[in-house]
């Protein structure tokens, strides 16, 4: 899906487009929100938004925000595909721990030839999910938008499988790993205290007590027993 012109897109442009893509799930993206996410001063983000609009990657409406055009979204999705393929490859093929994947992929996502992308995708069996449970966009830029409820909201006693964890917080991921709370694990709430208090979990037969905040950042799919 790479056109020759995309090769000239700088790393910084790729990062902005990727970030706008992730933010625009909630509607047009304000420059202030973009600046915060990119950790730059607001004027830098304003400049870049103007440049990206001029290049045809987004439309910017004053007081409303920025929205990616198809061309902008296409580049964002390709970078995200690279990122998530790298994460899975580093994890499966090289045994890189889950808390290290995101930072490594942040660098590598900008450097992936079409040929290597194909080889990695094939070697991994055309995967659709990265190790954090985030969907890997297809070559055509299609992405699975399934949303899963938070572990914190799971009814007591209902078994569920962990589907998604945040990808960019190493300390949080190490803690989740120490509790065996990574994608694929089976969990159920045994008890929970009111007012966002501690939640007692059954994790594969082992009892674990976690905080509400942690449980709200982990996404699960309830296991409904077949009739
Ligand atoms: Zn990541």
pLDDT digits (tens, 9 = 90+) for 109-159: 998 999 999 999 999 999 999 999 999 999 999 999 899 999 999 999 999
Contact 49, 37 (CB under 8 A): no
Contact 221, 207 (CB under 8 A): no
Residue spans per domain, the chain: 1-145, 151-222
User: Distance from the CA of 202 to the center of ligand 1, in angstroms?
Assistant: 28
User: Distance from the CA of 131 to the center of ligand 1, in angstroms?
Assistant: 9
| First-residue to last-residue Cα distance in the chain | 43
For the domain spanning 151-222, the CATH number is 2.30.30.90
- Cα distance between residue 95 and residue 206, in whole Å: 26
User: Distance from the CA of 101 to the center of ligand 1, in angstroms?
Assistant: 7
User: Distance from the CA of 85 to the center of ligand 1, in angstroms?
Assistant: 10
Question: What is residue 66's three-state secondary structure?
Answer: strand
Nearest residue to 131 (alpha-carbon basis) of 158, 107, 95: 95
User: Distance from the CA of 92 to the center of ligand 1, in angstroms?
Assistant: 15
Class of domain 1-145: mainly alpha
Mention every residue, 6+ apart, whose C-beta is less than 8 A from residue 156: 188, 189, 190, 191, 192
pLDDT digits (tens, 9 = 90+) for 84-106: 999 999 999 999 999 999 999 99
8-state DSSP, 60: E
Q: Note the pTM of the prediction, 2 decimals.
A: 0.89
- Cα distance between residue 31 and residue 44, in whole Å: 10
């Amino acid at each position: 899906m790479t056109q020759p012109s995309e090769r000239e897109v700088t790393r910084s442009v790729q990062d902005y487009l990727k970030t706008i893509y992730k933010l625009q799930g909630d509607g047009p993206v304000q420059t202030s929100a973009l600046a915060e996410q990119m950790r730059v001063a607001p004027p830098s983000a304003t400049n870049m938004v103007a440049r990206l609009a001029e290049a045809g990657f987004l439309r910017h409406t004053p007081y409303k925000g920025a929205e990616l055009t198809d061309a902008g979204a296409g580049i964002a999705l390709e970078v995200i595909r690279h990122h998530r393929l790298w994460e899975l490859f580093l994890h499966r093929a090289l045994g890189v721990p889950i808390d290290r994947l995101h930072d490594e992929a942040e660098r590598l996502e900008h450097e992936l030839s079409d040929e290597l992308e194909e080889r990695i995708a094939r070697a991994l069996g055309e995967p659709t999910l990265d190790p954090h449970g985030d969907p890997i966009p297809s070559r055509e830029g299609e992405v699975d938008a399934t949303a899963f409820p938070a572990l914190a909201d799971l009814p007591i006693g209902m078994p569920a499988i962990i589907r998604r964890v945040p990808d960019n917080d190493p300390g949080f991921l190490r803690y989740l790993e120490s509790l065996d709370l990574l994608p694929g694990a089976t969990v159920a709430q045994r008890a929970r205290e009111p007012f966002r208090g501690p939640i007692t979990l059954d994790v594969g037969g082992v009892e674990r007590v976690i905080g509400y905040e942690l449980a709200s950042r982990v996404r699960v799919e309830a296991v409904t027993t077949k009739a």
